[in-house]
């Protein structure tokens, strides 16, 4: 059954700007159907992963996912709110965009897409990249280490949702301010001149101000810190799992390689000191 | 929900925008097809390698004009980013500007540290810097040289001048943080976010991150910098690019900057701990408790002439964090030069980079 969080009256209508609006509509539809499916999918994925990792009878004992579910629910509410607002924006853009080309406005969906803010929260990109590590393999032989990885993954997804909620709420605030300024503010005349560049510039300014203000809040900083911490802990759990297999197959572990690097750094220091000492003696003796 | 309206449309303006966009896009598409990577070169000013140790390389730039400042200058960039910023392109190059003013110029390249360099510390970089200074001094038969530190390289330079004052003739700092908590003195939106963000972490968070990754990953620092200009990252490759894509010169400038940004090295892990915990979090440099190799870095030991250059709109190193040196340094010859622009703009911005080169060269010439 199709679910929609966007009320029919807020859904974008077709206009003389079919391509870009189509993209907006696609986003709207995706959000409308996607929020519930997203969370169902998340839960199914985590459930499947847990089953594959621990078997049916062990799942409940391995990780506490209640925090994750709470984060899902809170995030779902924030996202639905943003979706409604975004749909209203899309509707107005549909009326405003006649005359522009598809290529000219192809970036607009991204600019007005709340989800783009997660990707544009650059720390998330960095964290996402950092969390790449060894894949789960040889299930069943090192349950405790797998459990640690699984638990760290659940925690990371929870922290990620919590941070996305902060960003989504910021997007909603920015979108509200943007629409207020378009409707009643001093920028109305300029924005209404029919220039999509003017509209884009106004959105960038409003959104940038809101994001920068958000970044200074305790809520944002705390969610950033928690996300970073969860990402780090997952990486460490993955490395400990990898170390188990490295030892099993006689491959140097990360700890052993770090130890070699430390020794090498110490030896380089000694060599430098000896060279300088030798050079100093030669200078002293002409 | 906020009040909404349906936007009225100016057909003539919309048509003109669409037409202009189409023309720019056509020209841009042609440019994209023509430009090759070899057209996007940075750091092209001729130079010669004169010394190398571990991953550190010392270069000497070939002169472009008659020497006007006899004492050689060593440029030290930080470990976040590469020194190539000071020689981004021919008409936006601090290096070329200084060479054209007759400055004898050296630069130290810290190389590309990776996880193998996890245990390299700021003490090690002080030693590398000392080696470079000795090599240059021997080449010129002198005891003291001029130092030009940039950002984190400015902190390394400051520490060096405090620990080895007998080897520094003059010290020039650019966009260098000294008081890492002075960002609190200003409430300019978006300024000093790295200071705020770093203080929001626990020391343990930094330790665990270095345990996990071995370095402070370049991509990670890049993402933190991007976070400071949040909407820019969303418009960079559409609106910003659209504005330059029909002009070959502007387009190449854009690509050169991209090339520099993409070349972001990892920061050695133990040195990163010192940078983030001792300096950003605990602010040890300004209160005199920062130590390198067991020796306290006392800023009062810096008695050589000091020129402290800051960017008035620097959102990464807010001016107050740089200007704090004035009351801490031991020198009686201390000057400040505030330039228009931001952290990078001061080096590549049309007006600022010209003022930067001439300002430094004039200041050095008077103290040569």
Q: Please indicate whether, in this complex, the C-beta atoms of B22 and A101 are within 8 angstroms of each other.
A: yes
The pLDDT score that the predictor gives to residue A71 is 72
Mean pLDDT of chain A: 69
Q: Rounded to whole angstroms, how far apart are CA atoms B208 and B92?
A: 40
Residues in A 193-222 with any Cβ partner in B closer than 8 A = 193-197, 199-200, 204, 207-209, 211-213, 215-216, 221-222
More confident residue, A13 or A255: A255
Least confident of A120-124, B51-55, B315-319, B338-342: A120-124
Within chain B, what is the greatest distance between any pair of CA atoms?
Answer: 76
Give the distance from CA A83 to its chain's centroid: 18
Q: Rounded to whole angstroms, how far apart are CA atoms B366 and B368?
A: 6
Domain boundaries, chain B: 39-292+305-366
- Nearest 5 degrees, angle CA B294-CA B273-CA A234? 145
The pLDDT score that the predictor gives to residue A74 is 75
- Please count the residues of chain A: 286
Task: Count Cβ–Cβ pairs < 8 Å, chain A vs chain B.
Answer: 199
Q: Please indicate whether, in this complex, the C-beta atoms of A101 and B21 are within 8 angstroms of each other.
A: yes
- What ipTM was estimated for this complex? 0.87
Q: Which of B277, B298, B274 is nearest to B286 (CA)?
A: B298
Q: Smallest Cβ distance to B4: which of A103, A106, A183?
A: A183
Contacts of A88 in chain B (CB under 8 A): 1, 4
Q: For residues A253 and A243, is the Cβ–Cβ distance under 8 A?
A: yes
A114-132 burial, b if ≥16 CB within 10 A, otherwise e? Answer: bbbbbebbbbbbbbeebbe
Query: Tell me: the pLDDT tens digits for A147-189?
Result: 889 889 989 999 999 998 998 899 889 888 888 887 766 666 5
Rounded mean pLDDT, A187-203: 69
Q: Which of A235, A241, A230, A249 is nearest to A53 (CA)?
A: A241
**pTM of the entire structure?**
0.80
Indicate whether B275 pLDDT > 80: yes
Tell me whether residue A31 is exposed, middle or buried, using C-beta atoms within 10 angstroms of its C-beta: 0 to 12, 13 to 18, 19 or more. Answer: buried
Best of B113, B211, B227, B272 to mutate (most A CBs within 10 Å, chain A): B227
Q: Please indicate whether, in this complex, the C-beta atoms of A195 and B13 are within 8 angstroms of each other.
A: yes
Q: Please indicate whether, in this complex, the C-beta atoms of A211 and B54 are within 8 angstroms of each other.
A: no
Q: Rounded to whole angstroms, how far apart are CA atoms B136 and A33?
A: 67
More confident residue, A111 or B233: B233
Contacts of B229 in chain A (CB under 8 A): 208
Rounded mean pLDDT, B286-308: 97
Rounded mean pLDDT, A224-253: 93
Contacts of B220 in chain A (CB under 8 A): 126, 130
Q: Rounded to whole angstroms, how far apart are CA atoms B213 and A159?
A: 20
Rounded mean pLDDT, B16-24: 75
d(CA A42, nearest CA chain B) in Å: 26
Least confident of A15-19, A31-35, B44-48, B330-334: A15-19
Count CB-CB contacts under 10 A for residue A75. Answer: 23
The pLDDT score that the predictor gives to residue A24 is 29
Q: For residues A7 and A33, is the Cβ–Cβ distance under 8 A?
A: no
Rounded mean pLDDT, B329-335: 97
Dihedral, A172, A174, A176, A181 alpha carbons, nearest 10: -170
End-to-end CA distance of chain B: 66
Which fold is adopted by the domain B39-292+305-366? Rossmann fold (3.40.50)
Give the confidence band of A76 by pLDDT, cuts at 50, 70, 90. confident
Give the confidence band of A23 by pLDDT, cuts at 50, 70, 90. very low
Q: Rounded to whole angstroms, how far apart are CA atoms A105 and B17?
A: 11
Least confident of A37-51, A121-135, B123-137, B287-301: A121-135
* Token pair belonging to A125: 């990109």
Query: Tell me: the pLDDT tens digits for B35-58?
Result: 888 888 999 999 999 999 999 999
The pLDDT score that the predictor gives to residue B241 is 77
The pLDDT score that the predictor gives to residue B314 is 93
Residue B151 annotated in active site: yes
d(CA B243, nearest CA chain A) in Å: 11
Indicate whether A59 pLDDT > 50: no
d(CA A6, nearest CA chain B) in Å: 14
Q: Rounded to whole angstroms, how far apart are CA atoms A281 and A284?
A: 5
Q: Please indicate whether, in this complex, the C-beta atoms of A221 and B200 are within 8 angstroms of each other.
A: yes
The pLDDT score that the predictor gives to residue B300 is 97
């Amino acid at each position: 059954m199709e679910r929609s969080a966007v009320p029919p009256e807020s859904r974008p209508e077709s206009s003389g700007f079919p391509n870009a609006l189509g993209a907006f509509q696609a986003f709207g539809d995706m959000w409308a159907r996607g929020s519930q499916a997203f969370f169902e999918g998340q839960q199914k994925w985590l459930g499947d992963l847990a089953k594959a990792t621990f078997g049916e009878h062990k799942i409940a004992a391995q990780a506490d996912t209640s925090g994750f579910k709470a984060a899902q629910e809170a995030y779902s509410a924030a996202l639905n709110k943003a979706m409604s607002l975004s749909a209203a924006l899309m509707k107005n853009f549909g009326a405003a965009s006649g005359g522009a080309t598809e290529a000219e406005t192809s970036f607009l969906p991204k600019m007005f897409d709340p989800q783009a803010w997660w990707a544009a929260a650059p720390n998330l990109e960095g964290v996402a990249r950092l969390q790449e590590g060894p894949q789960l393999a040889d299930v069943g032989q090192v349950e405790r280490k797998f459990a640690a990885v699984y638990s760290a993954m659940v925690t990371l997804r929870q922290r990620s949702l919590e941070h996305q909620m902060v960003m989504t709420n910021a997007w909603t605030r920015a979108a509200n301010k943007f629409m207020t300024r378009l409707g009643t503010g001093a920028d109305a005349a300029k924005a209404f001149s029919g220039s999509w560049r003017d509209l884009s510039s106004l959105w960038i300014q409003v959104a940038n101000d809101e994001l920068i203000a958000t970044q200074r809040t305790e809520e944002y900083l705390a969610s950033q810190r928690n996300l970073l911490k969860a990402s780090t802990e997952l990486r460490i759990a993955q490395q400990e799992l990898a170390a188990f297999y490295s030892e099993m197959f006689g491959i140097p572990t990360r700890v052993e390689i770090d130890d070699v690097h430390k020794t090498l750094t110490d030896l380089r220091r000694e060599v430098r000191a000896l060279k300088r000492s030798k050079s100093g003696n030669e200078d002293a003796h002409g | 929900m906020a009040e909404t309206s349906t936007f009225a449309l100016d057909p003539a303006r919309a048509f003109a925008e669409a037409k202009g966009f189409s023309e720019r896009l056509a020209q841009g598409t042609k440019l994209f097809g023509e430009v090759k990577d070899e057209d996007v070169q940075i750091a092209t000013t001729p130079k010669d390698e004169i010394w190398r140790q571990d991953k550190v390389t010392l270069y000497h730039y070939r002169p472009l004009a008659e020497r006007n400042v006899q004492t050689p200058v060593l440029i030290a960039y930080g470990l976040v980013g590469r020194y190539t910023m000071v020689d981004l392109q021919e008409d936006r190059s601090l290096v070329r500007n200084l060479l054209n003013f007759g400055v004898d110029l050296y630069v130290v390249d810290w190389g590309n540290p990776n996880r193998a360099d996890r245990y390299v510390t700021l003490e090690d970089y002080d030693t590398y810097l000392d080696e470079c200074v000795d090599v240059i001094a021997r080449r010129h038969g002198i005891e003291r040289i001029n130092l030009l530190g940039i950002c984190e390289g400015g902190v390394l330079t400051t520490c060096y001048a405090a620990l080895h004052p007998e080897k520094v003739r003059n010290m020039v700092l650019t966009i260098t943080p000294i008081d890492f908590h002075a960002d609190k003195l200003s409430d300019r939106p978006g300024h000093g976010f790295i200071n705020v963000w770093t203080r929001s972490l626990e020391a343990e968070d930094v330790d665990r991150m270095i345990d996990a990754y071995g370095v402070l990953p370049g991509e990670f620092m890049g993402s933190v910098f991007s976070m400071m200009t949040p909407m820019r990252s969303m418009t960079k490759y559409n609106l910003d690019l659209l504005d330059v894509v029909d002009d070959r010169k502007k387009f190449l400038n854009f690509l050169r900057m991209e090339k520099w940004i993409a070349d972001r090295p990892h920061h050695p892990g133990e040195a990163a701990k010192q940078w983030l915990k001792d300096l950003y979090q605990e602010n040890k440099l300004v209160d005199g408790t920062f130590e390198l190799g067991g020796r306290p870095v006392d800023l009062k030991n810096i008695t050589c002439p000091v020129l402290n250059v800051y960017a008035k709109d620097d959102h990464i190193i807010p001016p107050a964090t740089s200007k704090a040196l004035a009351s801490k340094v031991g020198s009686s010859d201390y000057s400040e030069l505030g330039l228009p622009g931001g952290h990078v703009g001061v080096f590549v911005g049309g007006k600022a980079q010209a003022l930067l080169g001439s300002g430094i060269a004039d200041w050095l010439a008077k103290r040569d």
